[in-house]
Structure 1
Amino acid sequence: MNKKFVPILLWSMAAVYVLLMAELLFLREGGSLRSFNLIPFHTIQEYINVDGGMRRNAVDVNIWGNILIFVPAGIYAMLIGKSESLWPRLAAVALLSAAVEAGQYVLAAGAADIDDVILNATGGLIGITIYSVLKLGLRKQERVKLFLSLLSAGVGVPVLILSLILYAVNRV
């Protein structure tokens, strides 16, 4: 593949990811919400202990959603830049998550919750791990970038199209 194509595809898919995250995390309808929780695992514990048992739907959406949405952030954190050191990349993902939570609080677009930061950082760590495993298997940075660029396009383009369709349908 053309050496110029891979970085363009990679940056394009990263931009799509950022736009989809912004829409999901800041532009949802449903009223304003301004609350915060600084007690680690408090919200997760509440989800598990509601009515003496797990509220499975809420647990799935909150816990898995917060983890999965930041997996690409961990992958992109490893792809962008020169160093492949784990801790600075994980710290960057955690800081991004904290900034999102602060933004949600300021904009009354969601609850600012330390549990979300923990779950998002977990997702980022999973993304970093995926990158590291691919790097071991594919051995060359160029191959990893090509594979992840194509994977990002394969996932990102359909998600973008679906998001645009849902946006158009809900605006009618």
Structure 2
Amino acid sequence: MGRKLVALNETLIDFIKNQKLFFVATAMENGSVNLSPKGLDSLRVLDNNRVVWLNLTGSGNETAAHLSKTNRITIMFCAFDGPPLILRLYGKATVHHTDSSFWREHVNLFPDIAGGRQLIDVEIDLVQTSCGMGVPMMEYKNQRESLIDWAEKQGEDGLKKYWEKKNTTSFDGHSIDF
């Protein structure tokens, strides 16, 4: 059934590369736990103990708020087709904004997706697999384009205004730097 590993292996890296959806969980010492679904082509495996994902503009910015106070993070993948598997990556994360050298060095790993606001760099401390036999089988139909369409309509200036208005304070009232 479940296993704990100190690093990703090639089988798990291949599994990650084939996923259309993953979930990110963060929390401060107090307040809400944030669990957020992520899609699009927004995650890359850098090595066996490191992943980076392109955090896109959304209705909130809880992940960045939490990571600015407590850098704990969990990323979870579920097999919705093929053999059952749940994969969790536990680690510590750093937020890199669009004006950072990390952003400039790594953003080209991703397709040009409108609305990218941060790169989240995750150092993996623990890899855990579990059976996933209770996860339903689902068929991937297609990727929703609504978020990309919306971000493209905003343009760069519009996105910055949106970030200032909607993405500078967490749901719990904590400030977020941009």
Give yes or no for TM over 0.5: no
Higher strand fraction: Structure 1 or Structure 2?
A: 2
Q: Whose Rg is larger? A: 1
Q: How high is the TM-score relative to the length of structure 1?
A: 0.29
Q: How high is the TM-score relative to the length of structure 2?
A: 0.28
Higher helix fraction: Structure 1 or Structure 2?
A: 1
Q: Which has the higher contact order (CA 8 A, sep 6+)?
A: 1
